[in-house]
Structure 1
Amino acid sequence: MLPLLIALVVLVLILWLYATANRLDRLHIKTDAAWAALEAALARRAVVARAVVATGVAPGSLLEIADHAERTPRTDREAAENELTRELAAVERSRLPLALAAELVDAEQRVVIARRVHNDAVRDTLLQRRRRMVRWLRLAGTAPRPEYFEIAEPELNGSVAPLARTAARILLLDADGRVLLFHGVDDGGSFWFTVGGGVETGEELRTAAHRELREETGLELPDDQLVGPVWRRRAVFSFDGRSYDADEWFFLATTMQTEIDTAGFNQIELDTIDEHRWWSAADLRTTSDVVYPVQLADLLPDLLESEWDGQTRSVR
């Protein structure tokens, strides 16, 4: 009886492994197909951008930006495409021929849809890849790890260019090297992000970092415990119905206090932030949630293992 039971368990396990590996294979194929569709949508937008330049409504620099976006390798493609988004948003569409204006809006809408489909496929694939049995038995094989494609969704009416916004952000670590992240919810989805926010007019970056830290966590740290800025991130993103052209500067700080006081949240933060959590580097590597900066999981260990060398590095 026991040998039969063992054989049955082994058979079930083999069937499960086969089904899981097969599902992973289909998910990778789906992700590759979604990326191909997104690339096609981005290429079409670049073609339409060139047509816009040909009308004389947009400057010739838009042509160079569109060409650069198409030629840029995947690792740097987000920044190039975001630059194209910014330039297209500044085009006076009322001066375009009606048919071309409609084609531009259609091209932008297709990019939005293709990006969402792609990121959904990436999320589903990562969720499977990060299961313990899948990782232990290497069921994903040699398939490369898919990555989210994070570009802002343009203002489809073309009437408003992204709003420039300088931000001071804080990589707040606890005694165990975990980083504090807030969970935000918006019409575009949900995501985790670091402490920090916009710099007020005339405010210094370091002063803004201290203020944001106090308002969002209740913590006040001596100035010598605020290191940096260690990172800088340029990003175009959509939030609360508005697009932003963000220039984010990241400081590093460590605290022994893990109890966070969010009584200083403003109304937007109260409406859009539903939780906070301390994340280890291992947590960040295995989550399927969207986290900003995108490279946080990869770069956090370096911050923990060595002292800052005084150089501000660009991150995504």
Structure 2
Amino acid sequence: MSTGLLVTLLAVGIAVALVLGVWLAATANRLDRLHVRTDAAWAALDAALARRAVVARAVAAATALDDVGADKLRAVAERAEGTPRSEREEAENALSLELAAVDRGRLPLALAAELLDAEQRVVIARRVHNDAVRDTLGQRRRRPVRWLKLAGTAPQPEYFEIVEPALTGGQDGVPLPRPSARVLLVDRERRVLLFNGHDPGRPDTRWWFTVGGGVEQGEDLRSAALRELAEETGIRLAADALVGPMWRRRVVFSFDGRTYDGEEWFFLADLSGQSNGDGDGDEDGAEVRIDTSGFTDGEKSTVDGHRWWSAEELRHTEETVYPVQLPALLPEVLTSPWDGTVRPVR
């Protein structure tokens, strides 16, 4: 090889290394700025939530509420202020529900205006925070960032999902009750089936969730879980094939412009050695066939796909998964028999 060619290859190599180094530095700096932005957005949201709690206590002190209602609102507001971040969504949603029940027309005009302002500031701060989380997660999910671990030891940011007062649920803006039955569907490989979906009002925000849906009028939880399982996956099981309900999740959420007060009950369906309803089980190690032809029109338009997740994949994913504690709790579900206790999860 001639000296000239070697010099050329060396020059090209140096140029590529320089370009790559500049790109890596720029990407790492951008990711760092996004994390700083997310932290600042959370600080602003935390301050807005704290102010709302202070105003809620002022509302509780107003003569417009009876003693029982005032004591409850005060207690819920104080709990929201003192709750750690991991349990904050539930506490803030409880406060939202209490405030939604307050008759604003009986409050002093200045206090009613202050409460409205505090609630609207929470709405704005939450959206700014979640936008920052979305952008940060989008950057962290890029393959080069994941492969080269450019995020370092920075914790993965999480969306803050609470009801927005400006959205309308049922009459007078009170969230609509929505009991639902959900299923942890586990295959022979000890993986759980999750669907990926989005809110029509926020198509750029996606998350993974378990099989299941709302309980219909007159249904019990187990019947609803079996029906939803059959409709969403094509798998039909006997009632005694479900274990639980093992978990209960209380969550106030907004979807397609409506606000819901959700109560979710989780069952376990372990398909190891079982038939999927048409004689084709997974006892031979074959992939369990998922048939989504039973989806409703709403599900067809908002569910974007499905896949099986191992506990290890859930533990390391940058994707948003509900329930939030699923990555931490799934290993216990897979290795220990249920003790009959219904466990609260978030």
Is this a same-fold pair by TM over 0.5? Answer: yes
Residue 80 of structure 1: CA displacement? 0.7
Relative to structure 1, is the Cα distance of residues 271 and 13 closer, same or farther in structure 2, using a 3 angstrom cutoff? Answer: closer
Structure 2 CA distance for partners of 1:156 and 1:129, relative to 1, 3 Å: closer
Q: Is 1:292 matched with 2:305?
A: no
Report how many aligned residue pairs link the two structures.
316
Task: Please give the per-residue CA displacement for 1:163-213, whole angstroms capped at 9, x wherever unaligned.
Answer: 222211011123333332332433245433221122234432212211221
- The answer as to 2:161 corresponding to 1:150 is yes
Shift of 1:37: 0.8
* Residue in structure 2 matching 1:160, options 155, 173, 182: 173
Q: Which runs of 5+ in 2 are unaligned?
A: 1-6, 272-281
Q: Does structure 1 conserve the Cα–Cα contact (< 8 Å) formed by 2:194 and 2:210?
A: yes
Q: Are 1:212 and 2:228 an aligned pair?
A: yes
**Whole-Å separation in 1 of the counterparts to 2:137 and 2:25:** 18
The share of aligned pairs that are identical, in percent, is 66
* Letter aligned with residue 50 of structure 1: R
Residue 93 of structure 1: which of 104, 107, 119 is its match?
A: 104
Deviates more, 1:178-187 or 1:226-235: 178-187
Measured in 1, the distance between the counterparts of 2:236 and 2:46 equals: 46
Contact 2:223 2:239 in 1 (8 A): no
Match of 1:258, as an amino acid? V
Residue range with higher mean Cα deviation, 106-115 or 264-273: 264-273
In structure 2, the CA distance between the partners of 1:140 and 1:265, relative to structure 1 (3 Å rule), is: closer
- In terms of mean alpha carbon deviation, does 85-94 or 6-15 score higher? 6-15
Distance in structure 1 (CA, Å) of the matches to 2:144 and 2:255: 37
Q: Secondary structure at the match of 1:85?
A: helix
The one-letter code sitting in structure 1 at the alignment partner of 2:79 is H
CA distance in 1, matches of 2:262, 2:235: 25
The CA RMSD over aligned residues, in Å, is 2.5
> Is 1:247 aligned to residue 263 of structure 2?
yes
Matched, 1:104 2:115: yes
1:180 to 193, 215, 234: 193
The 3-state SS of whatever aligns with 2:172 is coil
1:206–1:14 distance in 2 versus 1, CA, 3 Å:
same
Mapping of residues 1-316 of structure 1, within 5 Å: 1=7, 2-58=9-65, 59-60=69-70, 61-155=72-166, 159-182=172-195, 183-188=197-202, 189-255=205-271, 256=282, 258-285=288-315, 287-316=317-346
1:286 Cα offset (Å):
5.4
The answer to whether the Cα contact below 8 Å between 2:167 and 2:257 also exists between their aligned partners in 1 is no
* Displacement of 1:126: 2.5
Q: Which secondary structure state, in structure 2, belongs to the residue aligned with residue 221 of structure 1?
A: coil
TM-score scaled by length of structure 1: 0.88
Matched residue type, 1:241: G
Supply the AA of the counterpart residue of 2:215: V
Q: Which runs of 5+ in 1 are unaligned?
A: none
Q: TM-score, normalised by structure 2?
A: 0.81
In 2 relative to 1, CA 104–22 (structure 1 residues): closer, same or farther, beyond 3 Å? same
CA distance in 2, matches of 1:43, 1:156: 21
Write the letter of the residue equivalent to 1:84.
L
Structure 2 CA distance, aligned partners of 1:254 and 1:123?
A: 34
| Aligned residue type for 2:322 | Y
Distance change in 2, residues 1:187/1:130 (3 Å): closer
Q: Structure 2: how far apart are the matches of 1:4 and 1:80?
A: 60
CA contact (8 A) 1:109 1:156 kept: no
Q: Is the 8 Å Cα contact of residues 238 and 244 (structure 1) preserved in structure 2?
A: yes
Which digits, 9 at most, give the CA deviation of each residue in 1:229-260, with x for residues without a partner?
A: 22211111122333222211111113436333
Query: Which residue is 2:278 aligned to?
Result: none
Check the 8 A contact 1:193/1:293 in 2, yes or no: yes
Using a 3 Å threshold, how does the CA distance of structure 1 residues 258 and 108 change in structure 2: closer, same or farther? farther
Distance (Å, rounded) in 2 between the aligned partners of 1:8 and 1:251: 57
Q: Secondary structure at the match of 1:253?
A: strand
**Displacement, 1:296?**
2.3
